[in-house]
Structure 1
Amino acid sequence: MDSAKKPLVLIVDDERDIADMLKSYFEMSGYLATVALDGAQALEKARCSPDVILLDVGLPDIDGFSVCRMLRDVHACPIIFLTARVEDADAIDGFSAGADDYVTKPFSLEVLGARVKAQLARGERMKRVSAVRVDDVLSIDYAAMAVYVEGAQVPLARKEYEICTLLSKHAGQVFDRDMIYERVWGTSGDSAVVTEHVRRLRRALAKAGAEKDYVKTVWGVGYTWQG
């Protein structure tokens, strides 16, 4: 495997022996691998944009479900939980937090490796078939959770991308801030947060070279998408 194209695996587990074992296994399997021993380290090392994250639920500082939710605010890569918990409710919590898969301990390294490979392959397949071209400048890949301007990916936080998705899929429909918050955050809350995320979305698109303002403000009401 070409080193320039090796996928990066972020391993988050507070048991050093397990973390080191996984790191060695994935490096021998042709991946790059890095280790975080707690939730704070995981959030820090995730800034390197891993291609897949293996996340233990039982971390010493922040529980894995909370870490997953925080990661999902900014990362769309596959997240696979590694845990000794086997109750259905725990699996549901994991998927609700944004996990893509759930592997219980003890596990086979070969099976885990196959799960990682399958998640990465699925992502590549969906990237190839799901891009929607908005116009000659902008395209959105809904499956890969990516926005492109002139073919270059625009760096967006997860919530900014989700606002972009909501508005672009309903072009011409006006959403007030409360409605956007409920749709994107899944609950009610401070709608002023929406204003800030829209501002960041617009700034990111403009910085990437989009001259058109795709997100139009409807004064006194909210926002709408103009394609």
Structure 2
Amino acid sequence: MTLSRILVVDDEPQIQRFLKPSLTAAGYEVIEALTGAEALKAVATQAPDLMILDLGLPDMDGKEVISSLRGWSDIPIVILSARDRESEKIAALDLGADDYVEKPFGIGELTARIRNALRHRGKNDAIPSSFEADGLTIDTIHRLVSREGDTLHLTPKEYDLLTLLARHAGRVVTHRTLLTSVWGPAHAEDLHYLRVFIGQLRQKIERNPTQPKIVRTEPGIGYRMIVDD
């Protein structure tokens, strides 16, 4: 069995000393980089399956690494950073990061995020003809949404919002991405508008809209669709 190769990009020695044995014990092959330049070279030459990236690197901001990579690589990127401002998370996710974990962190949470990102690698932001989550089925060929056989009647915008979340299932989709993709750039800041539509969508697709299991809120950042394993 081929081990997934994880590239850890962080200039803190204690983080590298902790992550390498922890990820190795979890069944991954680990390679390391201390700078953004080393990270870009490692992706090009060593073909890692996923990158864990700190934003505070000595030679460049981690967001520059994401921006550069997304021009030529779809490698999953999990941000691991002490920066806890929502603006930093949103910027990294909008640039193409797959997920964000704050320091200090638990290795269990990090490995769960890694598994999730690897699971969705290579899907090219496409959803299958039939997609299921917590009893909900999305039939993209016929544009039908049902729960346990009962057809749900969604408006065109509700359907577009749901399928956009499904294309990125398991990953955080920022408010700006959802607004600009579904309603256009003119609505990029209409957060209240988005919340209203998410509320309407949950009323139709969730078993209990007050405790949603399919479309989860990432406070201050966006939403994440939870998928069945």
TM-score for the superposition, normalised by structure 1: 0.53
Amino acid aligned to 1:93: A
Structure 1 equivalent of residue 220 of structure 2: none
Q: Give per-residue Cα distances to partners, 1:55-84, cap 9 Å, x unaligned.
A: 000001011000111111121021011111
Superposed counterparts of 1:160-199, under 5 Å: none
Q: Which of 18, 23, 30 does residue 33 from structure 1 map onto?
A: 30
SS class of match (1:58): coil
Q: Shift of the alpha carbon at 1:130?
A: 5.6
Structure 1 equivalent of residue 19 of structure 2: 22
For residues 81 and 61 of structure 1, the distance between their equivalents in structure 2, rounded to whole angstroms, comes to 17
Superposed counterparts of 1:83-102, under 5 Å: 83-102=81-100
Structure 1 equivalent of residue 42 of structure 2: 45
Q: Shift of the alpha carbon at 1:131?
A: 8.6
Structure 2 equivalent of residue 77 of structure 1: 75
8 Å contact kept, 1:66–1:97: no
Structure 2 equivalent of residue 169 of structure 1: none
Q: Shift of the alpha carbon at 1:28?
A: 1.2
Q: Kindly, what percent of the aligned residue pairs are identical?
A: 38
SS class of match (1:77): coil
8 Å contact kept, 1:36–1:42: yes
Q: Which of 51, 55, 58 does residue 57 from structure 1 map onto?
A: 55
Amino acid aligned to 1:8: R
SS class of match (1:123): coil
Q: Structure 1: give runs of 5+ residues left out of the alignment.
A: 133-227
Q: Shift of the alpha carbon at 1:45?
A: 0.8
Pair 1:123-2:121 in alignment: yes
RMSD over aligned Cα atoms: 1.9
Superposed counterparts of 1:151-162, under 5 Å: none
For residues 115 and 71 of structure 2, the distance between their equivalents in structure 1, rounded to whole angstroms, comes to 24
For residues 82 and 18 of structure 1, the distance between their equivalents in structure 2, rounded to whole angstroms, comes to 10
Q: Shift of the alpha carbon at 1:20?
A: 2.5
For residues 95 and 111 of structure 1, the distance between their equivalents in structure 2, rounded to whole angstroms, comes to 18
Amino acid aligned to 1:60: P
Give the number of aligned pairs: 127
Structure with a larger share of its residues in helix: 1
* Structure 1 residues 20 and 71, CA gap change in structure 2 (3 angstroms): farther
Q: Give per-residue Cα distances to partners, 1:156-213, cap 9 Å, x unaligned.
A: xxxxxxxxxxxxxxxxxxxxxxxxxxxxxxxxxxxxxxxxxxxxxxxxxxxxxxxxxx
Question: Runs of 4+ in structure 1 displaced over 6 angstroms?
Answer: none
Amino acid aligned to 1:72: R
